[in-house]
């Protein structure tokens, strides 16, 4: 079983609630709005838009900015593919900025430098890696001064906080934040995503874009003559005002989301305890290093990552992972640096500017973290790893 296996119990509870709601309601009902309000309230944002996935959310967020084609979007090489693929979907150019090896997020210094030196970077997608927030205050000042938008990829960070104690997603230092409710994330809707923002213009645009580009709320009509009879808006009338998508979440998924959100804080506090316990267990383990320890009290703890100096060990990462799997311990590598992927290689990306990301990739290992893991299992993981890495 991998580190995410225990998600199924939470999902089962949520499915029961979802099933009850589905039997009672029509396919288009009030659950989406309830879910959106719950997320907006949870993270302290004005608006939330539920979409079919975080990938869809990143795509729409970039489209909503209406950037010039081929504008550059700076993001982290250490992320899931969606962070930069979204830029490609939107006809924009990803630019990878190296990570800070302590935080695993894009280096603030290098990002500031890139923004100041380049006029082609028009958006920034910082990724809150493993749930530990990329600090945005300074970045946002520099970005604002140069007209660069910020979209936070918070797929790992629902329920997490910045070091100043504010919740990730309140968009105090960004234009939009995107969350994922994919089954491997802390709370899930089966599949799903949410974009939060404080800007009404973006909120309205996102609502249209997720539903074929059709006018929503009280959007002004392009053709009021066709739209009205005797001064009243025709009940059937709608306008496709731009090219949108079908990126909606369903009612049943929203119902799962509402019930799952209620458990978020409990899940995170359990995950935090487990992460802190790993920190203690691995503290004196030679050649094995806990990371992101500075953020334990604020991180959403999506995953727990160790760095292991495999060059000094007699066992390869592949062999270690294989043996651990035989012992019932699922591990993973998060992530292969995106520009090393064949598709990105074919686009001409090189790795010369991301040495920290490459070094991180060679040494990282994600070990099991989920709310139901016991201290005893953690000790067993330590024991197995001690034996294999001796």
Ligand X SMILES: *Cc1c(COP(=O)(O)O)cnc(C)c1O
Judged by the rule CB under 6 A, the positions of this chain that interact with ligand X are 53-55, 79-80, 82-83, 127, 153, 155-156, 180, 182, 193
Minimum CB separation from ligand X for residue 122, in Å? Answer: 20
d(CA 300, CA 167): 10
Minimum CB separation from ligand X for residue 316, in Å? Answer: 26
The partner residues of 240 in beta bridges, in order of sequence, read 214
- Neighbour order of strands in the sheet with 149-153: 47-51, 193-197, 176-180, 149-153, 121-125, 72-75, 93-96
Instruction: Give the nearer residue to ligand X in terms of CB position, either 206 or 320.
Output: 206
User: How distant is the alpha carbon of residue 247 from its chain centre?
Assistant: 17
d(CA 360, CA 182): 25
Minimum CB separation from ligand X for residue 2, in Å? Answer: 15
Residue that the structure tokens 């992460």 belong to: 275
Instruction: Give the nearer residue to ligand X in terms of CB position, either 83 or 196.
Output: 83
Instruction: Give the nearer residue to ligand X in terms of CB position, either 56 or 367.
Output: 56
Instruction: Give the nearer residue to ligand X in terms of CB position, either 215 or 366.
Output: 366
d(CA 338, CA 196): 25
Instruction: Give the nearer residue to ligand X in terms of CB position, either 79 or 177.
Output: 79
Minimum CB separation from ligand X for residue 349, in Å? Answer: 18
> Within 13 Å and on the Cβ side, how many CA atoms surround 270?
13
Minimum CB separation from ligand X for residue 158, in Å? Answer: 11
Angstrom CA distances, 372 to 267, 303, 376, stand at 9, 14, 11
What letters, b where the CB count within 10 A reaches 16 and e where it falls short, cover 168-192?
bbbbebbbbbbbbbbebbbbbbbbb
Instruction: Give the nearer residue to ligand X in terms of CB position, either 167 or 193.
Output: 193
Minimum CB separation from ligand X for residue 76, in Å? Answer: 9
């Amino acid at each position: 079983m991998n580190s995410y296996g225990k998600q199924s119990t939470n999902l089962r509870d949520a499915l029961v609630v979802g099933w009850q709601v589905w039997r009672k309601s029509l396919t288009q009902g009030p659950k989406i709005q309830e879910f959106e309000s719950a997320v907006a309230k949870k993270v302290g944002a004005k608006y939330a838009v539920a979409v079919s996935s975080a990938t869809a959310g990143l795509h729409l967020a970039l489209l909503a900015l209406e950037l010039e084609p081929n504008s550059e979007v700076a993001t982290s090489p250490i992320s899931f593919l969606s962070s930069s693929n979204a830029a490609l979907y939107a006809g924009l150019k990803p630019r990878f900025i190296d990570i800070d090896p302590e935080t695993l997020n894009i280096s603030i210094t290098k990002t500031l430098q890139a923004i100041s030196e380049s006029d082609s970077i028009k958006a920034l997608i910082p990724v809150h890696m493993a749930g530990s927030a990329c600090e945005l205050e300074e970045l946002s000042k520099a970005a604002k001064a140069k007209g660069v938008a910020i979209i936070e990829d918070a797929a790992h960070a629902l329920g997490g906080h910045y070091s100043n104690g504010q919740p990730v997603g309140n968009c105090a230092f960004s234009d939009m934040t995107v969350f994922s409710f994919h089954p491997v994330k802390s709370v899930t809707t089966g599949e799903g995503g949410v974009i939060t923002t404080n800007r009404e213009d973006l909120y309205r645009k996102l609502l249209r874009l997720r539903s074929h580009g059709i006018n929503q709320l009280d959007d002004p009509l392009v053709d009021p003559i066709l739209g009205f009879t005797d001064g009243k808006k025709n009940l059937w009338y709608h306008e496709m005002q731009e090219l949108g998508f079908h990126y909606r979440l369903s009612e049943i998924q929203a119902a799962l989301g509402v019930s799952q959100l209620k458990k978020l804080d409990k899940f995170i506090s359990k995950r935090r305890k487990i992460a802190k316990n790993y920190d203690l267990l691995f503290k004196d383990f030679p050649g094995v290093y806990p990371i992101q320890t500075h953020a334990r009290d604020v991180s959403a703890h999506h995953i727990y990552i160790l760095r292991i100096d495999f060059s000094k060990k007699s066992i390869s990462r592949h062999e270690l992972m294989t043996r651990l799997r035989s012992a019932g311990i699922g591990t993973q590598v998060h992530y292969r640096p995106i520009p090393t992927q064949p598709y990105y290689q074919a686009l001409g990306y090189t790795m010369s500017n991301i040495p920290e990301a490459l070094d991180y990739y060679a040494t990282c290992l994600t070990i099991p973290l989920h709310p139901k893991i016991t201290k005893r299992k953690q000790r067993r993981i330590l024991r197995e790893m001690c034996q294999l890495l001796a």
